[in-house]
Chains A and B, each alone.
Chain A
Amino acid sequence: AQSVTQLGSHVSVSEGALVLLRCNYSSSVPPYLFWYVQYPNQGLQLLLKYTSAATLVKGINGFEAEFKKSETSFHLTKPSAHMSDAAEYFCVQGGSQGNLIFGKGTKLSVKP
């Protein structure tokens, strides 16, 4: 069965520091991969998606993710964290029936 693993349920960084949220997916051809963000008491917003056009994917709000097939990873990064980035982040893989397979989520806290 397909599964998505997010390493670290909670990541805390200082404002201005690098953000790195880790994700490993199930090997499948091709992998349909997404990162979603959820702010408190809100729905999910798509940050970025892997389309196989490029291994480095740029998303909204300065986030980007790198697809590494050899490592089955799709880690999310942002060079400089902002207070407004505090939220829950989900790494998601598209399933064979068009469903979404969610990782357990990583809560990002940003300290002033």
Chain B
Amino acid sequence: DTEVTQTPKHLVMGMTNKKSLKCEQHMGHRAMYWYKQKAKKPPELMFVYSYEKLSINESVPSRFSPECPNSSLLNLHLHALQPEDSALYLCASSQEASPSSYNEQFFGPGTRLTVL
């Protein structure tokens, strides 16, 4: 199984809502990532988890809260978002969070988030 799954595929929420994005992989990867992608732009790294511990937080606002319950699951909790947070949110995983040509990242299909 070389697939990263993400749910939901689409999400519409108001600025006062609380919602969560979910990501799952069963490849035994020990690094998982959240990216934000705006239209016509490359993905921007938000968070990196390595061995279930947060290793990189790219100065993301606190209204985004990541969680890694176990090595296969990654959540992104959303609260009090702004309309400018509307984007495609991508999850990815890799064997390790270390530089290597054998350490490519596998991406999920993304969650299209719209904040009203």
Contacts and interface: CB of A to CB of B under 8 A. Distances in A.
Contact of B42 (A30, A51, A104): A104
Contacts of A49: 101, 104
A45 B96 contact: no
B101 A95 contact: no
B56 A97 contact: yes
B98 interface: yes
A46 interface: yes
Nearest to A96: B99
A50 B102 CA distance: 9
Contact size class for B? 20 to 34
Interface string B80-116: 0000000010101010111111111111111010000
Contact of B98 (A98, A100, A104): A98
Dominant SS at the A interface?
loop
B43 interface: yes
Chain A interface category by residue count: 20 to 34
Contacts of A97: 48, 55-56, 97, 99
B6 to A, nearest CB: 8
B110 A32 contact: no
Interface in A73-112: 90, 94-100, 102-105
B104 A46 contact: yes
Given A30-B101, A44-B43, A100-B45, 5 more contacts: A41-B88, A97-B97, A98-B48, A98-B100, A99-B48
12 contacts: A32-B100, A32-B103, A33-B101, A43-B110, A44-B107, A52-B101, A97-B48, A97-B97, A98-B94, A98-B98, A99-B48, A100-B43
